[in-house]
Structure 1
């Protein structure tokens, strides 16, 4: 019965006209765990525990696991996992991918002006930026709570600081899981291309496959032929770019986009066939790219949090760490 249900699910994915799940559970778990294992000691210790590594791996799958909650939920969130770029660097042949619009609303306006629908074009770039901004804020709160908890001048509220810090640690793990998912999506070439499930109805002088390759590549192949240890082994050294959030996100997605043609060339040469090692090698490399990027942006978010403000009315993280401002009223709430 289980095999029959699996066959029905696969048939449904193959028949679906829209994007299918990214990397599948196995791939997303590998990205999250590999990134967490590669975190440097400068980040909070709770993130580097075995429990946290496992939790991040599981939470990396959550944006896909939430699918099916309802029409409003799914319609709004499905497009968060991809952005359809053509060979000219335009979104669905409409507005240019770069420079990024200031907000997702501005992006939607630009697409509508070109007669396009954002929920068909995708907005992966904004998904990554949104979760990165949230993670920086989460880290800022953690820094403040940790410092306040340890400051003897503020011991009257120490129990509350500790409880809220532990609460924030749970939120940080969830935010990293969501960020992991979207960063992982961004390492899969078919998630940044109009050719997302076969070449599609576009000029095709090289005779690339029009078959639905998406699911079989990122799910079936990864689950059966990619090893987590191989992904971990290929995680790159830490690279902090010192650039804007938008630039890093753009560079990352465009680099993945450069692999769309090589992917189709690989398929055309038989690289995705059973027992051919080239398909698993390609998937392993891209999963490691996703894990490396995730580890890097976690570190960047941690460093950026030092210069943030938290609470209402906002207090500077550095002021709390210096012991000059008791953050309790601003964190507990002065309404």
Structure 2
């Protein structure tokens, strides 16, 4: 609850230029656009188009824009933007669950936090939001594979027309779901969204290096500063090579968030040295690297979701995607429904 309350207080007092939402509009747009522009050639052409890059860039902002709808919406969604870890990757305190061994279900995660004397309102559940987003996108791709195959092969005009219409619907869903995944992966690259020191160094913990405790720290960095210094070409140049082989969702998400957590202390050292004033090149380099980390991870998450979608079954009665694509299964009942 503390982040939600702080965000409300920040907005009411107009203390910082943006609410505590990772990267603001500029950063989230760039992450989505850079990732899509870097997708491998084996992904569907509609997703690799300039229009798709722009659309996903815009949709990457959506989870921030829908805040404040009321309960239960806000309880379930607003806490998805962060996960507050201590230095060793445990969540909230030394008794909290480890990012490396999260329970399978969010309800089990809630129980583990309560046992550690914490609550998910304070801890956040960003890793679950990323995993859920990847799984949803993989299902979207599986349906698209079937629809695309059947639109090309179906001889019945009525069925072929329906496959075409449903493919168009599915493409819109893919863009939407990729945008939401873009947002949460973007949140995961901003150091403040992975730490108990999420808006100035936590005042209830030791601060031997004398880092700032200002409640303006978070928003000033990801909002106004990043908007001043970030450039799409620089973000794209800083992106890492794809890492697609041997992909496993849970350890990949944990590694990604721990990598960001390791940037918390470097951020505060740089802030102390004045690196985030005006358009300081040190701060610009830091922000660009974090945006590029998110764009690289989003590109890989989209690509691995596409790969995984070839080896699943969909619909009811269930039909294997690979068999439909090979022309050995008719998915009509599974796709359109028999009732």
TM-score, length-normalised on structure 2?
A: 0.92
Describe the superposition over 1:76-97 as per-residue Cα deviations: whole angstroms up to 9, x where unpaired: 2111000000013211102322
- Contact kept, 8 Å, 1:149 with 1:155, in 2: the verdict is no
Structure 1 residue 215: Cα displacement: 0.3
Matches within 5 A, 1:1-335: 9=11, 11-12=13-14, 14=16, 20-93=20-93, 94-153=96-155, 155-200=157-202, 201-212=204-215, 213-335=217-339
Structure 1 residue 235: Cα displacement: 1.8
Q: Count how many residue pairs are aligned between Structure 1 and Structure 2.
A: 326
| Unpaired stretches in structure 1, ≥5 consecutive residues | 1-7
**Cα distance in structure 1, aligned partners of 2:179 and 2:91:** 27
**Cα distance in structure 1, aligned partners of 2:213 and 2:335:** 55
| Unpaired stretches in structure 2, ≥5 consecutive residues | 1-9
State the SS of the aligned residue for 2:40. Answer: coil
- Contact kept, 8 Å, 1:83 with 1:91, in 2: the verdict is yes
Deviating more after overlay: 276-285 vs 88-97: 88-97
Describe the superposition over 1:18-64 as per-residue Cα deviations: whole angstroms up to 9, x where unpaired: x8111101000000000011111100000111111110000000000
Structure 1 residue 102: Cα displacement: 0.8
Q: Once superposed, which parts of structure 1, at least 4 consecutive aligned residues long, lie more than 3 Å away?
A: 8-16, 152-156
Q: Give the alignment's Cα RMSD to 1 decimal.
A: 1.8
Describe the superposition over 1:136-187 as per-residue Cα deviations: whole angstroms up to 9, x where unpaired: 0000000000001111455551000000000000000001000000001111
**Cα distance in structure 2, aligned partners of 1:303 and 1:15:** 40
- Contact kept, 8 Å, 1:241 with 1:248, in 2: the verdict is no
Query: Could you tell me which residue of structure 2 aligns to residue 4 of structure 1?
Result: none
TM-score, length-normalised on structure 1?
A: 0.93
**Cα distance in structure 2, aligned partners of 1:135 and 1:82:** 21
**Cα distance in structure 2, aligned partners of 1:239 and 1:323:** 31
Relative to structure 1, the CA distance from residue 324 to residue 264 in structure 2 (aligned partners, 3 Å threshold; closer, same or farther) is same
- Contact kept, 8 Å, 2:83 with 2:125, in 1: the verdict is yes
**Cα distance in structure 1, aligned partners of 2:226 and 2:332:** 48
State the SS of the aligned residue for 1:41. Answer: coil
**Cα distance in structure 2, aligned partners of 1:140 and 1:333:** 17
State the SS of the aligned residue for 2:22. Answer: coil
Structure 1 residue 100: Cα displacement: 1.6
State the SS of the aligned residue for 2:86. Answer: coil
